[in-house]
């Protein structure tokens, strides 16, 4: 058990995860099955994700809009492949305003259909292209087995939807947004995701190509953390999204969609957490620093608090998010509490520190004695800033080392099975069929996570089918 | 007709409003009755509202959280008065995951009930108080007669919910948030709202006291633009929200709630618009400046665009939101288009301006020749900033003058009826009963908008009942 009574990761990762979500006050259970209450400490992580992505979307020329929560049932039937993917998960409004509705309304599981219909009206000519829209919204997919943040019946996400004149432009957009997701994941969430292409079996219903970023969680399972779809002309044909080209001829548009959700909060928890609880990357942490006053005698309180609050004021003026824990609890209790809740840096000030002009800084990412340092109050803003940068970088380095240590190259199915059974990710040359892929999943529980964009080059022999393969693929057990 | 073919306000305000919402590209009709698509130009106004309010909420110590979209039907029945207010407007999910649900789920019309239940679990002791929570969310109230932004079946809003140890603290919070709304409305949206208390009849179902900000639209109708409720202990008792006080005794909490919605976009349109279309206050305008290159000959394009883009770059670096209209259309077409869409300042650069180091600035708030000025390119950033400040202030002054010219003091019911029939707001001493108030509404269509917080002092004779009155009330026809 951890100091806070949380089941250790090493003992039972799944229990650890479920406990930490509630113990760290990220979320609370709700009265509706499969729906979560996101508490402020969890919601602030979502705000950080929202703000980081929204800035990137706007920098790449996208605008936000808002489309209705409800979708007429008939809409979902227009794109046959698409509806198949969603129908068992739909929540349906049949009564509204005290009356049975003539046509039931589906609570959006995604907005492709209603946005497709809107695009068909908004787009007339090549001058209207590209159309680059994003929506921040809640969506509902009724789930039988739910896990907080990872799989809930309602979740928050953003969904980008764009229309283009050519396949090339749509493909460039799809890859650009994949890069945006990867950039956010790596440089803000400190998750060293791998970018790649989904297989036929794993791609989004109705898409031409689905790209993904895959992260390795601390139990070595893969988590799909964001996807970007080149929808080809499938949705444009289903929803009649056409434009007049420069030669005055009608053409179908090429569309894309891409999304990232509150699932990313789960990815952050599971990438960085340890036996003591959360470890939050400074860039997405609600509190980057927790400041704790240390005193025993009553007369020590005033000078300690005064000094502490002066430093806190300076830190905040520099844009650092600081929480002051002045609860009527022992320092030890507070240390354990904030360690469990993953605050990147702890600042302590005691009577001796006031006297000597010192302070204690403790970093969360490092265990044991090395975590603690005594620093001067002079220049402490810079010291803390540098330490936060260091924690951010070290969490990424740590996750990258963990990832790389658990990806193994395989050249035969025997090797593959050993790697998967041992909890690793298997990387090997792949030329298998859809049926081969399904058989592997049945045999081992592993799925083809992606064909990484970064390839060794050349060709090789497929570890499963022995045929000549053009690329390597990554397989793993996944969430 | 305006230059853009929009029905003039003076001819038919309601047609003007409906046309301008779509013509200015703020919104689009959706396939679901009563639901709106908020297009980027409208959504950016909502983002400005969101950001301005969210900053103020955080500065006053509130934290954001997220609660489920669905509420078990039984929850809504706990607070009897509350459910009465909402039941005819509910949208109900009866089927989910391919099955009939055992208990139907209501799509939230507001989250009081689910948040009340959560608060009852989160609050144990006086140390947990005050609890200051806000949520940004979509809500659904099924409406038979809808109008874009003003009354739609789904809308976006924020709902604040707080719990306190005493009635005094709850009342102080209720009034603080009313002040936040008024501050935003006046200083960002340039709407000179009047703060006041709702009557028994008009207050929120289940509230002890409802405060409101009321704005006067350009047709002189009143629009309730934000409300703040002191819920007393009503919800605390219905949802068992209790705390242990310092004497270790169980007490019911005192709770508040307060909300502002996308209706505020309608308020901005109807407060400032004129016959030519929108007039957007710079602080909430998606584009504060539209930059239009002027040239006839092809060889003029390059130098004009170069100079224009240099100025645009400087303006943007100063944080000014600039849109460059480089469409292949005549300047006249663009002038009319952006005038209709309400951009506060237009910047023109032509070949002579390039030569002489000048630029043309045209302000949207002023009509005719006075709108236009020739300025030097030297120091143009400061010139534009000052002009934007001036437009912001002048829109507020204009709306305030319009409001004050249309509020009339009345001392008899005859005078009252004359004022109301003439389209004004009537202000008079008021000591009437609930039945009197209902009778007035039946006679004249006017409702008691509020008892303003700002009072003349002393007592007077009620214009309706002739009884001694402690305060004056404001009556008007309302949206
Ligand atoms: Zn879809
Ligand atoms: Zn309510």
Q: Which ligand is nearest to the CA of A139?
A: 1
* CB contact (8 A) between residue B114 and residue A30: yes
Cβ atoms within 10 Å, residue B421: 12
- Mutate which of B27, B28, B51, B66 to test chain A, going by most A C-beta atoms within 10 A? B66
CA–CA distance, A145 with A137 (Å, rounded to integer): 22
Q: Choose the final residue of a domain: B272, B301, B328.
A: B272
The alpha carbon of A76 and the centre of ligand 1 are apart by a number of angstroms equal to 9
Q: Which domain holds residue A126?
A: 13-272
Reply yes or no on whether the pLDDT at B347 is more than 90.
yes
Reply yes or no on whether the pLDDT at A1 is more than 60.
no
Q: Which residues surround ligand 1, an ion (CB under 5 A)?
A: A 110, 112
* CB contact (8 A) between residue A66 and residue B38: yes
Q: How far is CA B254 from CA A341, B131, B235, B240, B386, in A?
A: 30, 11, 8, 11, 46
CA–CA distance, B220 with B410 (Å, rounded to integer): 17
- For the domain that residue A363 is a member of, what is the CATH number? 3.40.50.800
Reply yes or no on whether the pLDDT at B81 is more than 80.
no
Residues B250 and B330 in one domain: no
The reported pLDDT for the residue numbered B31 is: 87
DSSP A177-208: HHHHHHHHHHHTS----EEEEPPTTTSPTT-S
Residues A227/A259, Cβ–Cβ less than 8 Å: yes
The token pair at B409 is 């003091």
Taking every pair of C-alpha atoms in chain A, what is the biggest distance, in angstroms? 85
**Which helix (H) or strand (E) segment is B84 a member of?**
helix B80-86
The alpha carbon of B430 and the centre of ligand 2 are apart by a number of angstroms equal to 29
Q: Choose the final residue of a domain: A272, A301, A316.
A: A272
Residues B258 and B196 in one domain: yes
Provide CB contacts within 8 A for B129, sequence distance 6+: B123, B163, B164, B165, B243, B253
Q: Mind telling me how many Å the CA of B225 is from chain A's nearest CA?
A: 21
pLDDT-derived band at B144 (thresholds 50, 70, 90) equals: confident
The reported pLDDT for the residue numbered B2 is: 60
Q: In B, which residues are within 8 Å of A43 by CB distance?
A: 63-66
Q: Choose the final residue of a domain: A331, A353, A387.
A: A387
User: Does any domain span residue A401?
Assistant: no
Q: How far is CA A31 from CA A28, A35, A47, A177, B71, in A?
A: 10, 8, 24, 36, 8
Closest residue on chain A to B66 (Cα): A38
CA–CA distance, B322 with B311 (Å, rounded to integer): 10
Please name the member of B69, B72, B90 whose beta carbon is closest to the beta carbon of A138.
B69
- For the domain that residue A431 is a member of, what is the CATH number? 3.30.110.30
The token pair at B349 is 């650069």
- Mutate which of A50, A71, A97, A99 to test chain B, going by most B C-beta atoms within 10 A? A97
The reported pLDDT for the residue numbered A75 is: 83
CA–CA distance, B224 with A451 (Å, rounded to integer): 56
Residues B231 and B160 in one domain: yes
User: Does any domain span residue A280?
Assistant: no
Q: Mind telling me how many Å the CA of B131 is from chain A's nearest CA?
A: 11
Chain centroid to CA A174: 18
Mean pLDDT of B19-40: 95
The reported pLDDT for the residue numbered B84 is: 63
User: Does any domain span residue A3?
Assistant: no
* CB contact (8 A) between residue B66 and residue A44: no
A356-400, pLDDT tens digit by residue?
999 999 999 998 899 999 999 999 999 999 999 999 999 999 999
Residues B255/B269, Cβ–Cβ less than 8 Å: no
* CB contact (8 A) between residue A67 and residue B37: yes
Please name the member of A47, A96, A142 whose beta carbon is closest to the beta carbon of B64.
A47
Q: Which ligand is nearest to the CA of A210?
A: 1
Sign, Cα dihedral of A107, A108, A109, A113: positive
The reported pLDDT for the residue numbered B74 is: 85
* CB contact (8 A) between residue A118 and residue B37: yes
Residues B298 and B257 in one domain: no
3-state secondary structure of B47: helix
Residues B419 and B366 in one domain: no
CA–CA distance, B41 with B479 (Å, rounded to integer): 24
User: Does any domain span residue B64?
Assistant: yes
Q: What are phi and psi of A458, to 5 degrees?
A: 75, -160
Reply yes or no on whether the pLDDT at B28 is more than 90.
yes
CA–CA distance, B229 with B259 (Å, rounded to integer): 9
Residues B341 and B212 in one domain: no
The alpha carbon of B28 and the centre of ligand 1 are apart by a number of angstroms equal to 21
Residues A151 and A294 in one domain: no
Residues B449 and B326 in one domain: no
Q: Mind telling me how many Å the CA of A166 is from chain B's nearest CA?
A: 21
Mean pLDDT of A263-280: 97
ipTM value for the complex: 0.95
User: Does any domain span residue B279?
Assistant: no
The reported pLDDT for the residue numbered A2 is: 60
Q: Which residues surround ligand 2, an ion (CB under 5 A)?
A: B 110, 112
* CB contact (8 A) between residue A95 and residue B98: no
Task: Please tell me whether the peptide bond between B295 and the residue prior to it is cis, using omega within 30 degrees of 0.
Answer: no
Q: What letter does residue B147 receive in the DSSP assignment? A: B
CA–CA distance, B206 with B85 (Å, rounded to integer): 9
Mean pLDDT of B178-196: 98
Q: In B, which residues are within 8 Å of A44 by CB distance?
A: 63-64
> ∠ CA(B164), CA(B183), CA(B51), 5° rounding?
85
Q: In B, which residues are within 8 Å of A95 by CB distance?
A: 90-92, 94, 104
Residues B353 and B472 in one domain: no
* CB contact (8 A) between residue B93 and residue A92: yes
* CB contact (8 A) between residue A142 and residue B96: yes
**Environment class of A11 (CB within 10 Å of its CB; exposed 0-12, middle 13-18, buried 19+):** exposed
Mark out the alpha helices in B251-330 (DSSP H runs): 263-272, 298-317
Of B13, B15, B43, whose CA–CA distance to B27 is shortest? B43
Q: What letter does residue B108 receive in the DSSP assignment? A: P
pTM above 0.90, yes or no: yes
CA–CA distance, A79 with A87 (Å, rounded to integer): 12
- Mutate which of B37, B158, B265 to test chain A, going by most A C-beta atoms within 10 A? B37
Mark out the alpha helices in A224-369 (DSSP H runs): 234-239, 263-272, 298-317, 331-340, 351-356
- Mutate which of A57, A91, A144, A265 to test chain B, going by most B C-beta atoms within 10 A? A91
A204-230, pLDDT tens digit by residue?
988 999 999 999 999 999 999 999 999
Q: Is B205 left (phi over 0), alpha (psi -120 to 50) or beta?
A: beta
B383-422, pLDDT tens digit by residue?
999 999 999 999 999 999 999 999 999 999 999 999 999 9
The alpha carbon of A375 and the centre of ligand 2 are apart by a number of angstroms equal to 51
Q: Which ligand is nearest to the CA of B229?
A: 2
Number of H helices, E strands in chain A: 14, 25
Of B426, B424, B448, whose CA–CA distance to B435 is shortest? B448
Q: Which residue has the tokens 């695009």?
A: A119
Q: Mind telling me how many Å the CA of B39 is from chain A's nearest CA?
A: 5
User: Does any domain span residue B6?
Assistant: no
3-state secondary structure of A391: helix
Reply yes or no on whether the pLDDT at B223 is more than 60.
yes
Residues A80 and A166 in one domain: yes
- For the domain that residue B63 is a member of, what is the CATH number? 3.30.930.10
* CB contact (8 A) between residue B64 and residue A40: yes
Mean pLDDT of B27-53: 96
Residues B245 and B310 in one domain: no
**Which helix (H) or strand (E) segment is B194 a member of?**
strand B194-197
The alpha carbon of A115 and the centre of ligand 1 are apart by a number of angstroms equal to 10
Q: Total structural domains in chain B?
A: 3
Residues B422 and B347 in one domain: no
The alpha carbon of A112 and the centre of ligand 1 are apart by a number of angstroms equal to 5
The alpha carbon of A399 and the centre of ligand 2 are apart by a number of angstroms equal to 45
Please report, to the nearest 10 degrees, the dihedral formed by the alpha carbons of residues B436, B437, B439, B440 taken in order: 120
pLDDT-derived band at A316 (thresholds 50, 70, 90) equals: very high
Provide CB contacts within 8 A for A474, sequence distance 6+: A194, A196, A214, A407, A425, A426, A427, A448, A449, A450, A451, A452
User: Does any domain span residue A52?
Assistant: yes
User: Does any domain span residue B278?
Assistant: no
Q: Which ligand is nearest to the CA of A114?
A: 1
Reply yes or no on whether the pLDDT at A138 is more than 60.
yes
Q: In B, which residues are within 8 Å of A327 by CB distance?
A: 127
Rounded mean pLDDT of chain B?
95
The token pair at B194 is 């009047």
The alpha carbon of B82 and the centre of ligand 2 are apart by a number of angstroms equal to 6
The reported pLDDT for the residue numbered B327 is: 93
Please name the member of B31, B95, B137 whose beta carbon is closest to the beta carbon of A117.
B31
Residues A304/A351, Cβ–Cβ less than 8 Å: yes
């Amino acid at each position: 058990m951890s100091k806070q009574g949380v089941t250790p990761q090493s003992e039972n990762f799944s229990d650890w995860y479920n406990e930490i979500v509630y113990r760290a006050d990220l979320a609370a259970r709700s009265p509706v099955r499969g729906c979560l209450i996101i508490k402020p400490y969890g919601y602030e992580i979502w705000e950080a994700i929202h703000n980081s992505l929204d800035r990137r979307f706007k920098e790449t020329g996208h605008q936000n809009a808002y489309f209705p929560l409800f979708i007429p049932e008939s809409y979902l039937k227009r794109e046959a492949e698409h509806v198949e993917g969603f129908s068992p998960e739909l929540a349906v409004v049949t009564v509204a305003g005290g009356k049975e509705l003539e046509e039931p309304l589906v609570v959006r599981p995604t907005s492709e259909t209603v946005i497709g219909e809107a695009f068909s009206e908004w787009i007339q000519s090549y001058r209207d292209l590209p159309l680059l829209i994003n929506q921040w919204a809640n969506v509902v997919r009724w789930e039988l087995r739910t896990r907080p943040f990872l799989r809930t019946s309602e979740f928050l996400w953003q969904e980008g939807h764009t229309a283009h004149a050519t396949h090339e432009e749509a493909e460039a957009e799809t890859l650009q947004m994949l890069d945006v997701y990867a950039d956010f994941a790596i440089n803000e969430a400190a998750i060293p995701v791998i970018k790649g292409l989904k297989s036929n079996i794993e791609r989004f219903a109705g898409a031409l190509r689905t790209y993904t970023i895959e992260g390795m969680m601390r139990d070595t399972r893969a988590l799909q953390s964001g996807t970007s779809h080149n929808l080809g002309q499938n949705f444009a044909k289903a929803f009649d999204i056409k434009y007049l080209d420069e030669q005055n001829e009608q053409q179908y548009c090429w569309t894309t969609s891409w999304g990232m959700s509150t699932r990313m909060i789960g990815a952050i928890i599971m990438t960085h957490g340890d036996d003591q609880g959360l470890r939050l990357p400074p860039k997405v942490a609600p509190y980057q620093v927790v400041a704790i006053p240390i005193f025993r005698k009553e007369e020590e309180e005033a000078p300690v608090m005064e000094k502490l609050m002066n430093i806190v004021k300076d830190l905040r003026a520099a844009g650092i998010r600081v929480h002051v824990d002045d609860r009527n609890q022992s320092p030890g209790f507070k240390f354990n509490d904030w360690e469990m809740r993953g605050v990147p840096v702890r600042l302590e000030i005691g009577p001796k520190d006031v006297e000597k002009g010192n302070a204690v800084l403790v970093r969360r990412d490092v265990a044991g004695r090395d975590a603690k340092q005594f620093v001067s109050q002079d220049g402490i803003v810079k010291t803390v800033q540098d330490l936060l940068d260091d924690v951010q970088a070290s969490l990424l380095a740590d996750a990258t080392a963990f990832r790389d240590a658990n990806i193994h190259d395989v050249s035969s199915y025997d090797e593959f099975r050993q790697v998967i059974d041992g909890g690793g990710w298997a990387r090997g040359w792949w030329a298998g069929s859809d049926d081969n892929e399904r058989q592997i999943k049945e045999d081992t529980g592993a799925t083809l996570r992606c064909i990484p964009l970064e390839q060794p080059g050349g060709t090789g022999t497929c570890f499963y089918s022995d045929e000549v393969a053009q690329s390597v693929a990554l397989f793993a057990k996944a969430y």
